[in-house]
Chains A and B, each alone.
Chain A
Amino acid sequence: MAKHTLSILVENHAGVLSRVAGLFSRRGFNIDSLAVGVTENPDISRMTIVVDGDDYIVEQVSKQLNKLVDVIKIKNLDDSESVSRELALIKVSATASTRSEIVQLVEIFRANIIDVSRNTLTIEISGDTDKVKALEDLLRQFGIKEIVRTGLIAIERGNKVINAGEK
C-alpha cells in the first residue's frame, strides 16, 4: 500500500463534497486526508485527496471519480514532480522549565508560536507530512493537549498546471 495524492477539479456547488466523500465510502476506498478550497476560478473548487491503496485502488478511485458529472479533472500527482504542504496547530503543555526547550524546537522547525498561556503553547507548523510528524513526535514528551491539522494540499512543480480544459 502506498499513499497517492489526487488533485481534483470539481464544480463549486452544494453537494459535490458529499458526492465525492460518499463515493469513497460506497466503493470501500479509504481517504487519508481531504482538503477543499475554491480555485482562481470561483466556479471551480479543488480537492486534494490522499488515498491509501495499491495501483488498482487508485485507478478505480480515479475512474469512479471521473464518472461523477461534477468532477472536471483528476490528476494523480507524482511525489517528485510536486510540492505538498499541510498545516497543523499543536497545543502543548508548557511549564516554566520546559517552555524554552519547546521554543527552541519551534525555531529549528521554522514553526510559529501563535498563542501562549500560563501552562500551554500553541504552535503553528506547515510543511510536508513528514516534517509535521517529526515536530509532533518531538513535542509528545511535553504532553500534547490537542492537534488540529488540515489535509495535505499539493501543486505540481514548474510550468505545469491543472486547469479545466478537456476532461
Chain B
Amino acid sequence: MKLTGAQVIVKALEHEKINTIFGYPGAAICPFYNALLDSDIKHILTRHEQGAAHAASGYARVTGKTGVCVATSGPGATNLITGIATAYMDSIPMVAITGQVSTEMIGRDVFQEADITGATAPFCKHSYLVKKTEDLPRVMKEAFYIASTGRPGPVVVDVPIDVQNGETDFEYPESIEIRGYKPKYKGHPMQIRKVAVAIKEAKSPVICAGGGIISSGASELLLKLAEKCNIPVTTTLMGKGAIPCRHKLNLGMLGSHGSYVANYAVHHADLLIILGARVGDRAMGTAYKIAEKATVVHIDIDPAEIGKNIHATIPIVGDAGAVLADLLEIVEESSFDEWNKTIERIKTEHPQKYVLREESEYVNPKYVLSVMSDMVDEDTIVTTEVGQNQIWAANYFKTKKPGTFISSGGMGTMGYGLPSAVGAKIGRPESKVITISGDGSFQMSMQELGTVKQYRLGIKIIVFNNSRLGMVRELQKVKYCGRYSQVYMEDNPDFVQLVGAYGFRGERISRNSEVKGALERMLSDDEPYLVECIVDPEERTL
C-alpha cells in the first residue's frame, strides 16, 4: 500500500498506540495535519508551541507513555526548544515532530527555515532530519524506541514538506537494530552482591532516590528494600513521591533546598545508596565531601552519570527496578536501630515548620500546601512552576503516590506548571490536577488558559502572589546586599478577573483563616478554579 510521508507519520503514531498529541500547525507541517484528519488520534491545540512540548512532557510523566508534540518549521520548531531541553534534563520520553522547508530549499534561508536538529543537538537524546519518504517508517520506529528505552529522553524528527508529500510503501518495522544504541537494564550480579554486603556492614546507611525510581516504576521495590533493611530514604526533587512523603523512613528532599534531616543523614552516612539519580548540584553540592566519608553505591541506567559528579565505590549500570529486584533477593534484613533513633531525634529537633500568624494580612504558602495535603486524595496530581513556589510545594505538599508530583527539576523552567498540568489532566482525566505557581511564572505560560478552556480541563490553579520574582529577590537580598534589581512585578493583572475572562471562577485570599474555605471551594467540583493567595514578599523559601 502506498502512503504519503504525512500518512506514514500518522500510521506510525497509531502503531505506537499514541492516542493524544499536542501541537500547533503551520505551513510546513500542513500535510501531516491533513493526514491527521483521517485518524482517531486526539490533537490538543495549545496556545504556544512551548506549551505543546510541556504538555507532552506532563502527559508522559503521568501516563508513562511517550509524549508527542508537533510544530511547524522555523519559529514553531524553535518555540519547542525550551520544552525539549526541559524534558532532556528530567529524562522524559518525548518525540517532537517538526515540519521543515522542502529538501531542495534547505540551507537557503527561506521563509520559516531553522536548523532545528542542529539547534537541539546538545539537549535531545537523538534527532533525525528525514531526507527520503521511504526512511520515515524506520525513523519513526527508532524515534519511539530511543525516546522510551534506556534513560528516556526527547527525540526530534524533522520532516521536510516534500518528504511529507512524497509516497512510499508502508510497512511498519517490527524490530529494530541500532548498532550504536544498546541500553543495559540488568545490573552486574557481582556488584549487586557487593551492595548486599555493604548494607550488612554499614552502621548508618541512607538511600537517595531520584527520578529513575519513578520512571522505572520501582517505587514498590524501593519501599520493600527500605522496610526490609530499615534504611531511611531521602529523595531528589525528581524523586519526590518515590516513597510516600509521610512514610516513617522518608527524610524529605535533600540538598540546598531540602530538609535538615535529609542533609544531616547524607552527611553522616557511612553508606550512601544513590538510586536512579544523577547527583545534581542542587541535591549534592558537595558530593566529593560525602564521598570522602561514605561508601557510595551509585545505580543508574546511564553509564555516563556514574563517576560524573560523585566517585562511586560500587558503581552499577542498570535499571533501578531491575537492580532493586535482584538486590532484594539476596539482601539480609537489618534494623539499624541506633542510626534510626538518631535520625528520629534530628527530625524532631529540626522539623520543617512555619509560623502561622492569624492576624497577618498575608497568606502563608507553606500553610496552604500543608492544608491542601490533607484535603486531596492520593491520586491528585500537583504540577509546579519554578521559584519559591516550587520549593514550597516540594517541601510542604505531601505526595502520596509516585508520578503525581510534576516539576521541572534539572532545567528549572518557569512556565512549565500550567502547560504540564494540561498534559497531566488529559493523561489522567479522573485525577484532580492542581498547578502551583507564583505571579511571575504564572504569567510566563498563562496563554494556555485558552487550552484549558477549549478542552474543558478542570485544572485548579494556585497563584502565590507576592508581586515579586521571589526567589531571585531572596538571592539579591542575601548575596547582593539587598540591591534589588528587576524583581518587582509592577501592576500585575487581577488574576481572578483574568481567569474570569475565560469563564473560570476564582477568588483572592489574604488571610490564613480564609485558606480552608477557598481550597474547599476550589476542590468541590471538576471545573477550572483559581485561588490567588496574597503572600508576604518577605516570606522565605525555606
A residues with CB within 8 A of B: 10-11, 14-15, 18-19, 22-23, 26, 56, 59-60, 63-64, 66-72, 164, 166-167
Contacts and interface: CB of A to CB of B under 8 A. Distances in A.
Given A72-B179, A72-B180, A167-B182, A67 B304 contact: yes
A167 B182 CA distance: 7
A166 B184 CA distance: 12
A18 B118 contact: yes
Contacts of B121: 18-19, 22
B304 A15 contact: no
Interface string B104-139: 000000000000011001100110010000000000
A88 to B, nearest CB: 32
Given A60-B308, A167-B182, A15 B302 contact: no
B146 interface: yes
Given A11-B180, A60-B308, A63-B304, A69 B122 contact: no
A167 B122 contact: no
Contact of A60 (B181, B302, B304): B304
B304 A69 contact: no
A69 B117 contact: no
B180 A64 contact: no
Contacts of B308: 60, 63
Interface string B292-315: 000000000011100110000000
Contact of A64 (B117, B146, B181, B304): B304
Contacts of B302: 67
B178 A69 contact: yes
Interface in B11-54: none
Contacts of A15: 117, 129
B303 A66 contact: yes
A59 B312 CA distance: 14
Interface in B177-200: 178-182
Nearest to B181: A69
B426 to A, nearest CB: 30
Interface of B: 117-118, 121-122, 125-126, 129, 146, 178-182, 302-304, 307-308
Contacts of B304: 60, 63-64, 66-67
Contacts of B179: 11, 72, 164, 167
23 contacts: A10-B180, A11-B179, A15-B117, A15-B129, A18-B121, A19-B121, A22-B122, A56-B307, A59-B307, A60-B307, A60-B308, A63-B307, A63-B308, A64-B304, A67-B302, A67-B304, A68-B126, A68-B180, A69-B180, A70-B180, A164-B179, A167-B179, A167-B181
Contacts of B126: 68-69
A164 B177 CA distance: 13
A15 B180 CA distance: 15
A167 B308 CA distance: 21
Contacts of A166: 182
A47 B146 CA distance: 24
Nearest to B127: A15
Contacts of A60: 304, 307-308
B316 to A, nearest CB: 15
A23 B308 CA distance: 15
Contacts of A19: 121
A21 to B, nearest CB: 10
9 shortest interchain CB distances as A-B pairs? A63-B304, A69-B126, A26-B122, A72-B180, A69-B181, A22-B121, A71-B180, A69-B180, A72-B179
Contacts of B182: 166-167
Contacts of A71: 180
A22 B124 CA distance: 12
B246 to A, nearest CB: 37
Given A10-B180, A67-B302, A72-B179, 20 more contacts: A11-B179, A14-B129, A15-B117, A15-B129, A19-B121, A22-B121, A22-B122, A26-B122, A60-B307, A63-B304, A64-B304, A66-B303, A69-B180, A69-B181, A70-B180, A164-B179, A166-B182, A167-B179, A167-B180, A167-B182
A68 B302 CA distance: 12
Contacts of A14: 129
B117, B129, B178, B180: most-surrounded residue (chain A CB, <10 A): B180
B125 to A, nearest CB: 8
A166 B476 CA distance: 52
Contacts of A64: 304
B357 to A, nearest CB: 48
B72 to A, nearest CB: 21
A86 B112 CA distance: 43
A14 B130 CA distance: 11
Contacts of A66: 303-304
B125, B178, B179, B303: most-surrounded residue (chain A CB, <10 A): B179
A63 B307 CA distance: 10
Contacts of A63: 303-304, 307-308
